[in-house]
A and B are shown apart, each in its own frame.
Chain A
Amino acid sequence: NAGVTQTPKFRILKIGQSMTLQCTQDMNHNYMYWYRQDPGMGLKLIYYSVGAGITDKGEVPNGYNVSRSTTEDFPLRLELAAPSQTSVYFCASIPDRGFTEAFFGQGTRLTVV
């Protein structure tokens, strides 16, 4: 059981470039989340989805876009990368709103130079 898989694990982007962070879960979870973790800080919610075709903004959505065309996949798109988006990105999923444990991916470390 792979759980939540994020790709890539590391990436360096130049200012103004775009990229998509991939997140896939094989547990048939309805709820999925994208968080970012800046150095020395806790996680902040970027976007989340409660099911295929449904997404909503979190605390820090500016500069990002998401889509949820399938239950399994929840990609995060960065348009016009900026140094402020240098961070570690975590994807997470839960089966439903009353879960007992969140399943996190291993994280993607992104540096924008």
Chain B
Amino acid sequence: AQKVTQAQTEISVVEKEDVTLDCVYETRDTTYYLFWYKQPPSGELVFLIRRNSFDEQNEISGRYSWNFQKSTSSFNFTITASQVVDSAVYFCALSDPTNAGKSTFGDGTTLTVKP
């Protein structure tokens, strides 16, 4: 069975601080996909990134970066110079590559960025 653990339930930072959201996963599959989604207060789900299990290259997109370490089964997400608009619930998810939309989600981390 697959499992995704986001141990940080809530994080609060002051604007311009860097913040890292942790994600640890369990799977017996040798190939899989990992995702991060953002859920702002308005409630919709916003796709942020997908990572294939065979690609351990870290990725940076603007203020966002992702650190994938297969050896520790972790896929952490860092926001640099956080902004108030980053306040949201962030979900990490894991899926079977034979049906990539069939995902197992973590319980989410609520990030609050204070001005």
Chain A positions near chain B (C-beta within 8 angstroms): 31-33, 40-45, 48, 50, 58-59, 88, 90, 92-94, 97-102, 104, 106-107, 109
A32 to chain B: closest residue by CB: B101
Interface string of B64-100 (1 = CB under 8 A from A): 0000000000000000000000000001010001111
Chain B residues within 8 Å of chain A by Cβ, number: 21
For the complex, is B16 an interface residue (Cβ under 8 Å from A)?
A: no
A92 and B101 form a contact (CB under 8 A): yes
The residue that A97 contacts in the complex, of B4, B91, B98, with Cβ under 8 A, is B98
Chain B CB within 10 Å — which of A31, A48, A102 has the most? A102
From known contacts A100-B50, A102-B47, A107-B44, infer whether A41 and B101 are also in contact, taking CB-CB under 8 Å: no
A99 and B107 form a contact (CB under 8 A): no
For the complex, is B53 an interface residue (Cβ under 8 Å from A)?
A: no
**Is chain B's binding surface mostly helix, strand, loop or mixed?**
loop
Q: Can you list 9 A-B pairs with a CB-CB distance of less than 8 A?
A: A32-B101, A42-B107, A43-B103, A45-B103, A50-B99, A97-B100, A106-B44, A107-B45, A109-B43
Contacts of A32 in B (CB 8 A): 101
For the complex, is B102 an interface residue (Cβ under 8 Å from A)?
A: yes
Nearest chain A CB to B13 CB, angstrom units: 20
Nearest chain B CB to A107 CB, angstrom units: 6
Bound form: Cα–Cα A28–B14 in Å: 43
A98 and B103 form a contact (CB under 8 A): no
- In the complex, the 7 A-B pairs of residues with the closest C-beta atoms, listed nearest first: A42-B105, A104-B45, A94-B101, A43-B105, A101-B47, A42-B107, A33-B101
Contacts of A92 in B (CB 8 A): 45, 101
Besides A42-B106, A90-B45, 18 other A-B contacts (C-beta < 8 A): A31-B101, A40-B107, A40-B108, A42-B107, A42-B108, A43-B103, A44-B105, A45-B102, A45-B103, A48-B101, A92-B101, A94-B100, A97-B99, A99-B101, A102-B35, A102-B103, A104-B44, A107-B43
Contacts of B103 in A (CB 8 A): 43, 45, 102
Nearest chain A CB to B54 CB, angstrom units: 13
Nearest chain A CB to B45 CB, angstrom units: 4
